[in-house]
Structure 1
Amino acid sequence: MGSSAPARRERLLSDPDVFRYVAARIVSLTGSAVTFIAMPVLIYGITGSATWTSLVIVAEAVPYLVFGLWAGALADHADRRRMMVGADLMAAIALATVPVAFWFDSLTAVHVLVAAFVVRTIYVFFDAANQGALPTLVGRERLPAANALVAGGSTVAETVVPTLAGALIVVISPASIIAIDVLTFVASALLIRGIVRPLTGARPAQSTLRLSAVAEGTRFILRHEIIRVMIVIGVLVAFSAGSLMAILVVWADRTLGVQEGDWRLGMLFGAWGIGAVVGSILMPRLMRAFGGARAALIVLPFAAASGVTVALAETWLTGALAIAGWSLMYLVIATISVTLRQQVTPERLMSRVMTAGRMATFGVGYPLGAVAAGALAGVFDTDEAVLVCQLSLVLAAIIAWLSPLRSAPKRLDVAEG
């Protein structure tokens, strides 16, 4: 009989290097959860505009499209630990300008958007190194459990943090709350620096970084039919996520009657975390039982139904329940996609392939969803805007069931690079 999921997680955390890595990710993602709430509230408070609010999501997503391939190629050539530590420290400096400008009464909406863009650009380079570091640290066999552990731990924090942040926003400016995220970047850098084992696997001798190396990860994705389909599905799922997050504050205000400073806003964000916690527990079980490809086929129709349910919510309580269901499905699909790519990709291409996938989802799907939601919310009711954008999940489910995922084996081996 196989060991239980809690036992596997305990064994992972008994490894000091894995513990430091997981702690760094949870600390950093906790800070990001604070900024995730504070940034849209801050922009909406300054401008009162749904379009400006949606631009926060765009500013945070566009860097993947612009810098993703280069970041992945650099991470496959450079020392990943140094790259992650340096990125954390630079992000802390860039983000610190927001609360400092607020304290000196000179903060503008443009400043907030520029800061969001710069911090996200730095994060693209961090993430490129991070996506390649985890398989090296834990090994491919332990990837589903490790990814679920990181996702589950971070979302436990995200369950508590949004509620606390929502309460803090009542008495403290969102700009001041962002200072918490600055400190978490520094803490993450210190934890990653303390990891003893290498975060970069054995690689063949590599020449100077060239354009051909940058595109190699994309070529690998185009050749691998399962990963290719999962990327397309990922773009559609990210479109759904970007659209919902871009106008969540506006939707809460106009449809649910939950305004800025209302404690129920924190509860709505907290519902996201609760659903994701359940998803992080469910995901490795689904992958063990069915394999990643078949698990995606099972989950996607439920994800489509959850998106429509969000659009139909009329009270903050039904809205919170719908968001919890949506986030559960979102985390399962997103984590399955990431794990599949990590399991089949050779080490020498790991960061490039992972970042190319992130570029497609967060550089294309996410900002397009945000722009679409902002534009539709300016013309139609916000619940109608949410409904139209969530139809992308219906399309994702249809594509999945017409794709090679239906005949994919339960276990996928490392492909040739």
Structure 2
Amino acid sequence: MTVRTGFGLFLTARVVSWAGSTVTAVALPVLLYQRTGSASLSGLLTALEALPYLVLGLPAGALADRWDRRRTMTWCSWSSAVLIAAIPAASALGLLTTAQLLLTGPAVSAVFVFFDAAAFGALATLVGRDGLARATGRMMSASTLIGLLGPSAAGVLVASLAPPTAITLDALSYAAAALLLAQLPLVPRTRARTGAPVRDTFADIAEGLRYIRRHPLIRPLTLLGIGNSFTEGAVVGLIVVTAVRTFGMAPDDERIGLFWAAAALGALAAATALPRLQKTVPLGWITLGGLAANTVFLACWAASPGLVTGLAALACWQSANALVSLNGIVIRQQITPEHLQGRVNTTARMIAWGGQPLGAAVSGLLADAAGVRTALLTACLGALLSLSAGLATPLRRREVTTEREVNTEKDNHAARAQH
């Protein structure tokens, strides 16, 4: 089997799984809100789904480097299929509970952490280092297309089939992905060691943390991401609640999928604009400007009087939110030395995403106590606090990190490591 065929199988499996997951992304919160009518529980679901990556990211990365990657991805896909299929099965038997809905999301997210860790290494093996950029670009294009078209189609499916039945499609997609992944041309890996001492694992994690803490650019970009992710948790956790209470939709209205599609369009706009912005605008200003725009467009989303203006505000907010996240990710990848890439990027992602579960939980409680608009306007404080803190850091300066400065930073760190 050729490299092209192997990557084709991998990409097909991911596309099938992404398409199925889009259905559950719409159907699960709709089903929960239909059963409970609670904004607090809607926010709690989003918070719980965000927690596994924060808790399991570091150990999952270490374990996935020792395990057989094809087997790990295959079994993770089968596990997700079983977890998802349990929802329509319980519904058909009259046994479905709110607790099951709240636990299924984080359980699938926990499995995904291990899948994701294995997938990073598997992709590099399938396409080689030289093919990573092109392969990643193709995957991002496919993911973006699904993000644009999938939610609207999912909204129609949820409205016409009922949420439990629609979720069945996601279970089938995981099963199909598992069958495809089992055929990947990945040679079973021979481990150089059967297990690393716990103290060595902690030492590796500590080294990544020290690098983030000491770096004058990566440290503020990472910490400012907390406020950015706080607003993300609030918005995503209340999408269904906002659709029902602000725009007067039924919980199973097929138009609800348009909100996820608008968010995907905003993320695509940010990804498209970022390369040009990084060539013409100081890197710190991109983050600070994104945080300012996040605040403005989140307020517009909270105050939108109608569906069209709401979709436009949501797309603009997501573009600003994604711009902050992507700018931090790209800068970390450019500056961080090769031997620290995994630890620094994983650790920084976990720190920056730390605000998401808090934002989802707090906004859900506020929406029930004081209304959706109040909850969303309060969430603006997350971006405002990050913006205020960012103005007191080197990010406000005009200097741009050039390629020469990036290479100098890498050389300096390598020299310090040798000594």
Which TM class, normalised by the smaller chain length? 0.7 to 0.9
Cα displacement (A) at 1:135:
6.2
Q: Is the 8 A contact 2:229 2:359 kept in 1?
A: yes
Match of 2:81 among 92, 96, 99: 92
Q: Is the 8 A contact 1:131 1:351 kept in 2?
A: no
Residues 300, 80 of structure 1: alpha-carbon distance in 2 compared, 3 angstrom cutoff: farther
Residues 192, 273 of structure 1: alpha-carbon distance in 2 compared, 3 angstrom cutoff: same
1:351-401 superposed Cα distances (whole Å, 9 cap, x missing partner): 443432333344x21110111101111221211110111231233333344
- Are 1:410 and 2:399 matched, yes or no? no
- Are 1:367 and 2:349 matched, yes or no? no
Cα displacement (A) at 1:122:
0.8
Equivalent runs, 1:161-200 vs 2, <5 Å: 161-196=150-185
Structure-1 residue corresponding to 2:242: 251
| RMSD (CA atoms) | 3.3
Structure-2 residue corresponding to 1:386: 376
TM value normalised by structure 2? 0.83
Range that drifts further, 316-325 or 83-92: 83-92
Q: Is the 8 A contact 2:147 2:264 kept in 1?
A: yes
Corresponding residue SS for 1:107? coil
Range that drifts further, 228-237 or 48-57: 228-237
- Are 1:312 and 2:303 matched, yes or no? yes
Q: Distance in 1 between matches of 2:128 and 2:334?
A: 9
Structure-2 residue corresponding to 1:3: none
Residues 342, 136 of structure 1: alpha-carbon distance in 2 compared, 3 angstrom cutoff: farther
Equivalent runs, 1:57-68 vs 2, <5 Å: 57-68=46-57
Match of 1:155 among 144, 161, 167: 144
Q: Is the 8 A contact 2:70 2:186 kept in 1?
A: no
1:318-352 superposed Cα distances (whole Å, 9 cap, x missing partner): 11111111122233333333334444455655444
- Are 1:222 and 2:210 matched, yes or no? yes
Uncovered stretches (5+) of structure 1, i.e. residues with no partner: 1-13
Match of 2:16 among 22, 27, 37: 27
Uncovered stretches (5+) of structure 2, i.e. residues with no partner: none
Residues 357, 204 of structure 1: alpha-carbon distance in 2 compared, 3 angstrom cutoff: farther
Corresponding residue SS for 1:35? helix
TM value normalised by structure 1? 0.84
- The one-letter amino acid of 2:316's match is G
Cα displacement (A) at 1:182:
1.8
Q: Distance in 2 between matches of 1:191 and 1:21?
A: 7
Match of 1:275 among 266, 275, 279: 266
Q: Is the 8 A contact 1:293 1:410 kept in 2?
A: no
Cα displacement (A) at 1:163:
1.0
Range that drifts further, 172-181 or 136-145: 136-145
Cα displacement (A) at 1:62:
1.9
Q: Distance in 2 between matches of 1:73 and 1:311?
A: 41
Structure-2 residue corresponding to 1:213: 201
Residues 75, 346 of structure 1: alpha-carbon distance in 2 compared, 3 angstrom cutoff: farther
Structure-2 residue corresponding to 1:119: 108
Cα displacement (A) at 1:129:
3.0
Range that drifts further, 373-382 or 393-402: 393-402
Q: Is the 8 A contact 1:238 1:365 kept in 2?
A: yes
Q: Distance in 2 between matches of 1:199 and 1:218?
A: 30
Q: Distance in 2 between matches of 1:384 and 1:209?
A: 49
Q: Distance in 2 between matches of 1:341 and 1:118?
A: 29
Q: Distance in 1 between matches of 2:107 and 2:299?
A: 34
Larger radius of gyration, structure 1 or 2? 2
Cα displacement (A) at 1:306:
2.0
Aligned residues: 402
- The one-letter amino acid of 1:167's match is V
Q: Is the 8 A contact 1:131 1:354 kept in 2?
A: no
Residues 325, 77 of structure 1: alpha-carbon distance in 2 compared, 3 angstrom cutoff: same
